[in-house]
């Protein structure tokens, strides 16, 4: 039952992802038509430089007027792959107003304004899909929103930024320092000229906000996510991690509190045991661990970025939205009915690995241990190494609230016998 009027797709942005979406739509047109139940065609492409030659895209489809394109009224699906907040936000809401559904890969916008975009979509009876916004090609949003819709998710922990995983993997395998590994990532095209969004974890924090919201059926704003970049991870940290049978990853962690009454979301570097499946995620790959009450532990793994993988996720969404339109229906909208409060980082229960430079004299360990005890933090292991009147003390704690752990570190800094705190890192993934 193939209807004759093709579904029309407008593309906003024709960079690495957009051009790949256009290419696949053209080369796989027959497959897409068979899977949707109707042909789908590229009806317009908004670009900044219309004079640039774009292989496979007829020049007459190109326009610099994105607003006019989304206002045309005959567009079924607007694909937004511009990124950033504006003009993407206005274009998306304008698309809804003019009867189009939207497929977006824009994590920053979704993390900041997801709720209002959902509201606009619902108001106009349109779909908002964004599988490509988190973890590239890895099917993650749909499994969380749909496959696990009958389960209770308690934890989402993952590597959601390929650039920083590439850098940390290089540091781990080659012993390189941060800047050296960053240079290699830049040279190979894994890091942008200005790597701030990646290495300071703004990108991962946006993804954490999106994942936490979906997993816990609540709203988590970007500002709710605790964020710590990975620029201060050193080769010495990796050496410490190795001694513990661990490696270091930049993790996005979304958790439901033990009492179920609040949630937390955070992004920071952390040591994880080499036996943990996330430890073996190499290079620029992404992987996300999901713990659900009935399903148990699931993991989703794949390329987290790149033109083709991201285009695959965008096209999956295009097919879904087109099928919905043929059904005269919409897919699942926002599910934020639980309205759980987001607790601050201090409430997160975690473990610390603390490396101290201390005076090499009797009684230091007792002093240090007393500080931990006073803050209610229980010590798991201590390793002491002396050299020439100086000594180092490596303490790994049991689980405790982050506030108690950071309070402990603050108090340790004030001890005369503690010369310095060489490194602090959280330990995850037991």
Binding-site residues, in ranges, read 12-19, 107, 192
Residue nearer to its own copies on the CB measure, 84 or 332: 332
Beta strands across the sheet bearing 77-80: 62-63, 40-46, 7-12, 77-80, 101-104, 128-129
State the nearest-atom distance from the C-beta of 249 to its own copies, in Å: 16
State the nearest-atom distance from the C-beta of 348 to its own copies, in Å: 24
Calculate ∠ Cα 381-384-387, nearest 5°.
165
Helix count and strand count (H, E) for the chain: 14, 17
State the nearest-atom distance from the C-beta of 313 to its own copies, in Å: 7
Residue 273 CB partners (closer than 8 Å, separation 6+): 244, 245, 246, 279, 429, 430
Q: Which residues are annotated binding-site positions for NADP(+)?
A: 12-19
CA 157 to chain CA centroid, Å, is 10
User: Catalytic: which of 8, 152, 170, 207?
Assistant: 207
| DSSP code per residue over 128-197 | EE-GGGSSTTS--HHIIIIITTTS-EEEEEEE--HHHHHHHHHHHHH---HHHHHHHHHHTTSS-SS-HH
Closest CA relative to residue 429, chosen from 311, 338, 350:
350
State the nearest-atom distance from the C-beta of 71 to its own copies, in Å: 26
Residues that bind its own copies in the complex, under the rule CB under 8 A: 20, 24, 28, 31-32, 34-35, 131, 137-139, 142-143, 146-152, 217, 277, 280, 292-303, 306, 308-309, 311-320, 323-324, 327-330, 332, 335, 337-338
Q: Which residues are annotated binding-site positions for L-homoserine?
A: 192
- Give the three-state DSSP class for 55: coil
Distance from C-alpha of 317 to C-alpha of 102, rounded to nearest angstrom: 9
Residue nearer to its own copies on the CB measure, 123 or 327: 327
CA dihedral 422, 428, 429, 430 (to 10 degrees): 80
Q: Which residues are annotated binding-site positions for NADPH?
A: 107
* Signed CA dihedral, 209, 210, 216, 218: sign only: positive
Question: CB–CB of 428/399 below 8 Å?
Answer: no
- Give the three-state DSSP class for 114: helix
Hey, how many other C-beta atoms are within 10 angstroms of the C-beta on 416? 8
State yes or no: is 414 an active-site residue.
no
State the nearest-atom distance from the C-beta of 247 to its own copies, in Å: 15
Residue nearer to its own copies on the CB measure, 260 or 420: 260
Distance from C-alpha of 320 to C-alpha of 318, rounded to nearest angstrom: 5
Distance from C-alpha of 419 to C-alpha of 422, rounded to nearest angstrom: 9
State the nearest-atom distance from the C-beta of 260 to its own copies, in Å: 11
Burial class, 16, CB count within 10 angstroms (exposed 0-12 / middle 13-18 / buried 19+)? middle
Residues annotated as part of the active site: 207
């Amino acid at each position: 039952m193939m209807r004759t009027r093709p579904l029309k797709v407008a593309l906003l942005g024709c960079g690495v992802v957009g051009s790949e979406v256009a290419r696949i739509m053209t080369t796989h047109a027959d497959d897409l038509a068979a899977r949707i139940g109707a042909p789908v065609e590229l009806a317009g492409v908004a670009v900044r430089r219309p004079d640039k030659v774009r292989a496979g895209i007829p020049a007459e489809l190109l326009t610099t007027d994105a607003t006019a394109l989304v206002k045309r009224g005959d567009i079924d699906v607007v694909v937004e792959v511009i990124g950033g907040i504006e003009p993407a936000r206005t274009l998306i809401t304008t698309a809804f107003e003019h009867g189009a559904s939207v497929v977006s890969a824009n994590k920053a916008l979704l993390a900041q304004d997801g709720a209002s975009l959902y509201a606009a979509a619902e108001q106009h009876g349109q779909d908002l899909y964004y599988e490509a916004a988190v973890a590239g090609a890895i099917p993650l949003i749909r499994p969380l929103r749909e496959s696990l819709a009958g389960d209770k998710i308690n934890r989402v922990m993952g590597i959601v930024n390929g650039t920083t995983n590439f850098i940390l993997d290089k540091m781990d395998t080659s012993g390189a320092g941060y800047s050296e590994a960053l240079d290699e990532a830049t040279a190979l095209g894994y890091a942008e000229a200005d790597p701030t969004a990646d290495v300071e974890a703004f990108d991962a924090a946006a993804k954490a906000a999106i994942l936490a919201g979906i997993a816990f059926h609540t709203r988590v704003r970007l500002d709710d996510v605790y964020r710590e970049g990975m620029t201060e991870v050193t080769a010495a940290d990796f050496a410490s991690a190795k001694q513990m049978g661990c490696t270091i990853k930049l993790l996005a962690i979304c958790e439901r509190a033990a009492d179920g009454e609040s949630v937390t979301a955070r992004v920071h570097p952390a040591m994880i045991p080499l036996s943990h499946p996330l430890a073996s995620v190499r290079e620029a790959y992404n992987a996300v661990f999901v713990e659900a009450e009935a399903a148990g532990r699931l993991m989703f793994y794949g390329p987290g970025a790149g033109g083709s993988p991201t285009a695959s996720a965008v096209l999956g969404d295009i097919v879904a939205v087109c099928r919905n339109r043929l059904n005269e229906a919409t897919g699942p909208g926002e599910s934020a009915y639980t309205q759980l409060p987001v607790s601050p980082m201090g409430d997160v229960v975690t473990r610390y690995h603390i490396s101290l430079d201390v005076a090499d004299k009797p009684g230091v360990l007792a002093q240090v241990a007393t500080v931990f005890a006073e803050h209610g933090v229980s010590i798991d292991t201590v390793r002491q190494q002396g050299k020439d009147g100086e000594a180092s003390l490596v303490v790994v704690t049991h689980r405790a609230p982050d506030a108690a752990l950071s309070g402990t570190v603050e108090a340790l800094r004030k001890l005369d016998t503690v010369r310095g705190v060489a490194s602090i890192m959280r330990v995850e993934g037991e």
